[in-house]
Chain A
Amino acid sequence: QLQLQESGPGLVKPSETLSLTCTVSGGSIRSTSYYWGWIRQPPGKGLEWIGSIYYSGSTFYNPSLKSRLTISVDTSKNQFSLMLSSVTAADTAVYYCARLMYGPNEIDYWGQGTLVTVSS
């Protein structure tokens, strides 16, 4: 059974960089059938796609976040990571890592999510 687990600081100061890692178990991140992505959800609000990465390193970013965003993959550790720079309170959200189908991008597996609060 595939599992995804987010890890990283739960509190980040304004103007600093938010960093999260997703560890994939029960399956290989090298699969050619999937992308790996990040989605966030501000408290009490809806879902926003942040970006996705293929095992080869090809990335796809939400234009609204692109200037602050880096997503990377480490196939040797079966992990992928998110870095979002210059954060503000508006970046406070539950961050989910997820598996997306290659081609049609429905999201078939989600991590449990981790709350990241931006506050001094």
Chain B
Amino acid sequence: EIVLTQSPGTLSLSPGERATLSCRASQSVSRSFLAWYQQKPGQAPRLLIYGASSRATGIPDRFSGSESGTDFTLTISRLEPEDFAVYYCQQYSSSPTTFGQGTKVEIK
């Protein structure tokens, strides 16, 4: 199975700053089948990005995704107070679909 490694484990930033989250796959993720989710405490995850770079419905354009080989990046251009949460990447290019271990974005 494809193992996804997210870094850093925790990102401490202030509102208004730029957040860059990384997700590295252990092997090729074909057809850019990678998604990003946001999860707040006590809530279900929410789809942010699919196909590595397409924003889901209703997601603000401060969220963007990119890929370079087996490296995927979620960028939040300017952090809003509601963006402090845990973020997970998911690959669905091969079965079983797998998730990264998460990156927590916390207020500095």
A contact residues vs B (CB 8 Å cutoff): 46-49, 60, 62-64, 96, 101, 104-108, 110-113
Report which B residues bind A (CB closer than 8 A).
31, 33, 35, 37, 43-47, 50-51, 56, 88, 90, 92, 95-102
If A46-B101, A48-B99, A49-B99 touch, whether A106 touches B92 (CB-CB below 8 Å) is yes
Check A108/B44 contact, CB under 8 A, given A46-B99, A46-B101, A63-B96: no
Give the number of A-B contacts (CB < 8 Å): 50
Give every chain B residue within 8 A of A46 (Cβ-Cβ). Answer: 88, 99-102
Which residue of B is nearest A66, CB measured? B96
Bound complex: CA of A83 vs CA of B64, how far in Å? Answer: 38
B45: chain A residues at CB < 8 Å are 47, 96, 107, 110
CB pair B95 A60 closer than 8 Å: yes
B100 A104 Cβ-Cβ under 8 A: no
Closest-by-CB residue of B relative to A60 is B95
Give bound CA distance, A108 to B54, whole Å: 13
